Amino acid sequence: MEQLGIIIKIITDPEQGFNELLASRKPLWLSSLTAAVGLFCQSIAVLLIDNLGSEQVTSMLTLGYLAKLFAFVVFWITMTSLFHFIASWHKTEGSINNLFILFGASLLPLIFLPAGAILSRGLGLGSHLLYIFIYLVIIIWILFLQVKSLKIIYHLQTGKAISVYIIPFIATFFLLVVSLILFTILTITLISKSF
């Protein structure tokens, strides 16, 4: 029953909910369960929107879900490590374990996706825009919870927490652009040498 109270607090008062989660007896278990259920709800919402056949449903809810769960765990570990490294630049103390726990719990809003898919389907054809809007609101909510996690764990102000959050994405974009430019230059050089 304590876990249900923590989940409700994360929805209604994220800071208090996150603090109660970290103080609970098995925070990693609850965080992992929350992430797994959130990803399962996301898979269900996709199935509801796409109206797939029973063989596709079985495939998506077994192998597809397990692949998504595995990919998420790798992403979860990588991103929390990266955010912890960047947050350490601000000379603050914080636990990577606690950040890992809170980032898992931040997927809690995904549980509302199936309801959004049902509502969207109930309104008929062409209502996918409603689902897209609901999906974007939930993604923004998750981003908010993840920035809130950085603020709580590393005692950062909002601006610094946002900068810690966006630096990996900016760096990735920059690396992709540089790689694309280098690939284009190499391709042009090789083509010009062959003529």
pLDDT bracket for residue 177 (50, 70, 90): very high
First and final C-alpha spacing in the chain: 73
Residue environment code for 85-119, b if the CB has 16+ CB neighbours within 10 A, otherwise e: ebbeebeeebebebbbbbbbbbbbbbbbbbebbee
DSSP 8-class letter at 24: S
At residue 60, does pLDDT exceed 90?
no
How far apart are the C-alpha atoms of 142 and 21, rounded to whole Å? 16
Given a cut of 60, whether residue 84 has pLDDT beyond it is: yes
The amino acid occupying position 142 is: I
Better pLDDT: 194 or 156? 156
Q: Which of 98, 96, 76 is nearest to 86 (CA)?
A: 96
- Separation CA 125–CA 143 (nearest Å): 30
pLDDT band at 4 (very low <50, low <70, confident <90, very high): confident
C-alpha distances (whole Å) from 141 to each of 12, 21, 41, 95, 187 are 12, 18, 16, 23, 42
Q: What pLDDT is attached to residue 120?
A: 85
pLDDT, mean over the chain: 86
User: pTM of whole model > 0.85?
Assistant: no
Q: How many CB atoms lie within 10 A of CB 162?
A: 15
Q: Encoding tokens for residue 23?
A: 């103080």
Residue 51 has pLDDT above 80, yes or no: no
**pLDDT band at 56; cut points 50, 70, 90:** low
